[in-house]
Structure 1
């Protein structure tokens, strides 16, 4: 892992840790509203892969509930045991359907779906520590999402707080999967322009 990535990750996560609960709640409410203005045309029954936000990560279950409200099938990641590998998935059926999984992350209860289920997705929302307008995404560093998204063709959206979207300069490597869109609470969906 590059020092550049580690330094940026530490700075951004430190800033997140100082975010007030009120500001985070407002950001999550705004992100939930953006779910009704997705950047691709979807119909009831279509599949969207998303995630359950942790700590001060942008998102929240309101964002997931807004997707369910439109009749969409929502898939959430399940971290497999062992070394970093492709993510497994489960269906989201409301906040009460979540349980603690590996590393105390919330994940859907019930049947685990193979990573290849993402081939059914029409849109994929992924968490990010930072992103830029060229499509670079900085994650937590284990590579679960890059392994999972490498063979997927659906548009991928990195979700970050407003201050975590940069014009460029987010460090990335050859095996980092580029994003198609970035979503911020204040700016909505921004199409990236690969440099």
Structure 2
């Protein structure tokens, strides 16, 4: 199957997911965040790059709440969120709470504060990357916009890249291309964290 065919199948499956399950997943991810950061050895002095989940992505609660972001702020973490700038690599801005979020392109919510520039990803200890699916070898399938494909190469060699997927979205194989950046771990709401052992894992 092509990437687009796999995307259509995965998106259709997500649309069928009941709201009660989405609530459960969002709460489970928020509760697990402290342990996940500890397990990854995330440097508390460096930022964590997260994202505002959209539509039916893992972590998106049916009422629009984003418990994972709230949990990160409650931990006192310095959180950076992506800001989409055309076809350029993602920009980044500080997230201090839900009041910071404003509407952006593609139906996304983004922080409205000062932008830090695409290179800010290089400061992060962990980057949690949205994905439709991932493999145990670290292959990640995104939505196809290419924003993270252009941004992840700017991360530091010591930055851990973590794909966030649903419990049933860790799959045996995915179509991949040479430019695809492998992730170092896969995080699922109730199944937890899986280190992939991808080359270059810090």
- Give the whole-Å Cα distance in 2 for the aligned partners of 1:95 and 1:22: 22
What number of residue pairs does the alignment pair up? 190
Structure 2 CA distance for aligned equivalents of residues 137 and 69 of structure 1: 29
Question: What is the Cα deviation at residue 127 of structure 1?
Answer: 0.3
Q: 1:71 to 1:43 in 2, by over 3 A?
A: farther
Structure 1 residues without counterparts, runs of 5 or longer: none
Match of 1:182 among 180, 186, 193: 186
Runs (4+) of structure 1 moved beyond 4 Å? none
User: What SS is found at the alignment partner of 1:11?
Assistant: helix
Partner of 1:56: 56
Q: Give the one of 138, 145, 156 matched to 2:148.
A: 145
Partner of 1:68, secondary structure, is helix
The alpha-carbon deviation at position 65 of structure 1 amounts to 1.2
Per the TM alignment, residue 43 of structure 1 is displaced from its structure 2 partner at its CA by 5.2
Q: How far has the Cα of 1:110 moved from its partner?
A: 1.3
List per-residue Cα deviations over 1:45-70 (Å, max 9, x = no partner). Answer: 43100100001101232101111111
Counterpart for residue 122 of structure 1? 125
Alpha-carbon offset, residue 151 of structure 1: 2.9
What is the Cα-based RMSD across aligned positions, in Å? 1.5
> Which segment drifts farther, 136-145 or 34-43?
34-43
Counterpart-to-counterpart distance in 1, 2:130 and 2:19? 19
Partner of 2:10: 12
1:76 aligns with 2:81: yes
Superposition TM-score, scaled by structure 2 size: 0.89
Residue aligned with 2:125, SS: strand
Confirm whether residue 164 of structure 1 aligns to residue 169 of structure 2.
Answer: yes
Corresponding residue for 2:111? 108
Asked whether the equivalents of residues 45 and 71 of structure 1 are also in contact (C-alpha less than 8 Å), the reply is no
Query: Which whole-Å deviations, capped at 9, do the CAs of 1:152-171 have from their partners, x for residues lacking one?
Result: 121100000011111x3111
| Counterpart-to-counterpart distance in 2, 1:180 and 1:74 | 20
The CA deviation string for residues 86-126 of structure 1, in whole angstroms up to 9 with x for no partner, is 00011111112111011221000111110101111011001
Contact 2:22 2:59 in 1 (8 A): no
In structure 2, the CA distance between the partners of 1:112 and 1:194, relative to structure 1 (3 Å rule), is: closer
SS in 2 for 1:131: strand
